[in-house]
Structure 1
Amino acid sequence: MIAKILIALGVIILIFVIVVASRPADFSYRRTATISAPPSAVFPHVNDLHKWQAWSPWAKKDPAAKNTFEGPPAGVGSSMSWAGNNDVGEGTMSVTGSEPDESVRFKLEFRKPFAGTNFADFTFKPEGGQTVVTWTMTGKNTFFFKAFSLFVDCDKMIGGDFEKGLADLKKIVETQGAN
């Protein structure tokens, strides 16, 4: 009887491992917002990491997080490291590409609660008197995150944070434009 239970348990574990291993290795989360301002009014809020505190969804999850900045004030070579509560963890975000009023690319190095490296891109497309801002994060799924994504909709979870951040970015830019 115990042997049959152990065999059944082994088969279940094997099936689980096969299902998890077959999940996609890459992930991509993307959200878009339209802001009533030209790209030149939106771009500085993303390209300058000092300005992220005003609109970043994670800054609101832990306003007491410790942030340190290195490199130039904005653009390629600037970076921000953070250490916060369990909601924001610990890591470093570095600007690796910056095309004025067109795009900003980041390397994200997470240390806590889980180690990992991802990339984020912001693009700014003029559309009439507005800007379509697209925020994308890409990376590789570890075995753990492949398993986690069987039970949690990561696109919805991370995408929800992107939506909040883009909505706050929109408010800030549109309010400044109205002044």
Structure 2
Amino acid sequence: MLKTIALILLAALGLLLAYAATRPDTFRVERSRVIAAPPERVFGLIHDLRQFNTWNPYERKDPALKGEYSATTAGPGARYAWQSDKVGTGSMEIVDATAPHRVDMKLDFVAPFEAHNRAEFTLQPEGAGATRVTWALHGPVPYLAKIAHLFFNMDRMVGQDFEDGLAYLQAVVQKPAGS
């Protein structure tokens, strides 16, 4: 009886591992929000990492987070590294920016797992004085991550953080002057 159960569990594990191997080799998470401000106003809050971190949802998750900026904090070459018990350890660097429409970042995570991804922010005018901001993250999915993705929905987890971040961005952008 015990041998039969062990064989069934081993077969189920084998099927699970085989199924994980068929999963996509890349992922993409994307969220958008329309913000009542022109792209030029929104761009500055993404393109400058000090401004970015005033609304970054991951900074808000851990008030004890330790971060360090490079000498350049805005535009290509701007870099920010962080250490946190709650949101991990890693760095981001702006690798390309086209004012006021796009900012591309390289994200390198060290802990709790290693990952090398890209984040893209696109800003499109929408109506009179409004901007559609899209935040996307994409990257490779190594085999061990494919197994993890069977149990954790990356789109739901990261997507919720992006939705929160875009709501924080909107609040910062639309905050009345002098408040």
Q: Distance in 2 between matches of 1:32 and 1:104?
A: 15
Measured after TM superposition, the shift of residue 2 of structure 1 is 4.7
Measured after TM superposition, the shift of residue 3 of structure 1 is 4.2
Runs of 4+ deviating beyond 6 Å: none
Q: Aligned-pair RMSD on alpha carbons? A: 1.6
- The match for 1:69 is 69
Q: Match of 2:162, as an amino acid?
A: F
| Count of paired positions | 178
Structure 1 or 2: more helix by fraction: 1
Report if aligned partners of 1:37, 1:177 keep a CA contact under 8 Å in 2: no
Q: Provide the TM-score with structure 1 as the length reference.
A: 0.93
Report if aligned partners of 1:71, 1:77 keep a CA contact under 8 Å in 2: no
- The worse-fitting range, judged by mean Cα deviation, of 44-53 and 157-166 is 44-53
Matches within 5 A, 1:57-136: 57-85=57-85, 87-128=86-127, 129-136=129-136
Over the matched positions of the two proteins, sequence identity in percent amounts to: 36
Q: Match of 1:11, as an amino acid?
A: A
Q: Distance in 1 between matches of 2:177 and 2:41?
A: 8
CA 1:81 to 1:14, structure 2 compared with 1: closer, same or farther past 3 Å? same
Q: Distance in 2 between matches of 1:49 and 1:111?
A: 20
1:39 aligns with 2:39: yes
Measured after TM superposition, the shift of residue 143 of structure 1 is 2.2
Long gaps (5+) in structure 2: none
Q: Distance in 2 between matches of 1:100 and 1:33?
A: 19
